[in-house]
């Protein structure tokens, strides 16, 4: 089944109604007892509903946290990267005819695709360049002082911390989704089995089926097929 929020809500609503009403109605209890349905099975169904509800709320909460952590990371990254690219640009202009020098300063080559590689490359750039007098003198000629340069190195460290924090939040949110989906699948399977038993046990009592939220179709009713496309 598709685990969309509206589907989860519907599954919870219909399942809880079915298990709760079946548990509280003595006539239904008696008829279902013939099929070896007892108090323990009602309670198990209701426990799955409670667990699903709890995990769904947790998933929503953790999803919100990872979304906010992503926004925070992107804001810090964009600000640091803008200055980083400016520093790279001026250094490349200064040593455009000396590729070996640019390689020494980690200022030559393709831009990394992953954030982890970007952080690694940026750290290498700032650490090697900061200790190179010739490179710092070249940047100073463009108005980039040592203090300004080191300030952005600190920003790179903030990017690293924000990225790590986001990955932790993302992992927690993904784990919550997997745990919730497993319980939803269990509830869906259990509810279908229970509903099938009810249809058989209460076949002669349509009003009791309706009480459980189970639709009763008139004789000869045929379900319409969905049109493709």
| Interval 13-24 mean pLDDT | 96
Check pLDDT > 90 for residue 87.
Answer: yes
Query: Does residue 227 lie in a domain region?
Result: no
Give the per-residue pLDDT at 201. 96
93-116: pLDDT as tens digits = 999 999 999 999 999 878 788 999
Confidence class for position 5, pLDDT limits 50, 70, 90: low
Query: Does residue 136 lie in a domain region?
Result: yes
| Interval 186-196 mean pLDDT | 96
24-34: pLDDT as tens digits = 999 999 999 99
Query: Does residue 80 lie in a domain region?
Result: yes
Query: Does residue 207 lie in a domain region?
Result: yes
- Which CATH number does the domain housing residue 29 bear? 1.10.287
The residues, any chain, with a CB within 8 Å of residue 48's CB and separated by 6 or more, are: 15, 183, 186, 187, 190
Query: Does residue 198 lie in a domain region?
Result: yes
Query: Does residue 56 lie in a domain region?
Result: yes
Check pLDDT > 60 for residue 221.
Answer: no
Query: Does residue 154 lie in a domain region?
Result: yes
Q: How many domains does the chain have?
A: 1
Q: How far apart are CA 53 and CA 57, in angstroms?
A: 6
Query: Does residue 217 lie in a domain region?
Result: no
Check pLDDT > 70 for residue 14.
Answer: yes
Give the per-residue pLDDT at 68. 97
200-214: pLDDT as tens digits = 999 999 999 999 999
Pair 118, 36: CB distance under 8 Å: no
Check pLDDT > 80 for residue 1.
Answer: no
Q: Give the position of tokens 């009003």.
A: 207
Give the per-residue pLDDT at 89. 95
Lowest-pLDDT choice from 67-71, 111-115, 178-182: 111-115
Give the per-residue pLDDT at 216. 86
**Is the pTM for the entire model greater than 0.95?**
no
User: For the chain, what is the mean pLDDT?
Assistant: 92
Range of the structural domain that residue 78 is part of: 5-211
Lowest-pLDDT choice from 1-10, 66-75, 220-229: 220-229
Confidence class for position 219, pLDDT limits 50, 70, 90: low
Q: Give the position of tokens 């179709």.
A: 217
């Amino acid at each position: 089944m598709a685990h969309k929020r509206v589907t989860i809500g519907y599954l919870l609503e219909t399942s809880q109604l079915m298990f709760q009403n079946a548990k509280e109605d003595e006539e239904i209890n008696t008829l279902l007892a013939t099929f070896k349905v007892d108090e323990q099975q009602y309670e198990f169904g209701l426990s799955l509903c409670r667990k699903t509800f709890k995990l769904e709320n947790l998933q929503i909460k953790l999803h919100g946290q990872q979304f906010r952590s992503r926004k925070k990371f992107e804001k810090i990254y964009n600000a640091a990267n803008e200055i980083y690219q400016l520093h790279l640009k001026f250094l490349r202009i200064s040593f455009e005819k000396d590729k070996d020098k640019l390689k020494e300063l980690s200022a030559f080559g393709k831009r990394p695709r992953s954030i982890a590689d970007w952080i690694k490359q940026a750290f290498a750039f700032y650490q090697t360049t900061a200790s190179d007098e010739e490179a710092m003198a070249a940047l100073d000629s463009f108005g980039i002082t040592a203090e300004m340069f080191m300030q952005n190195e600190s920003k790179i460290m903030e990017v690293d911390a924000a990225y790590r924090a986001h990955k932790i939040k993302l992992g927690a949110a993904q784990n919550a989704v997997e745990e919730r989906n497993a319980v939803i699948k269990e509830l869906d399977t259990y509810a279908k089995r229970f509903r099938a038993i009810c249809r058989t046990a209460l076949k002669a009592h349509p009003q009791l089926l309706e009480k459980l939220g189970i639709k009763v179709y008139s004789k000869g009713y045929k379900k319409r097929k969905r049109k493709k496309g």
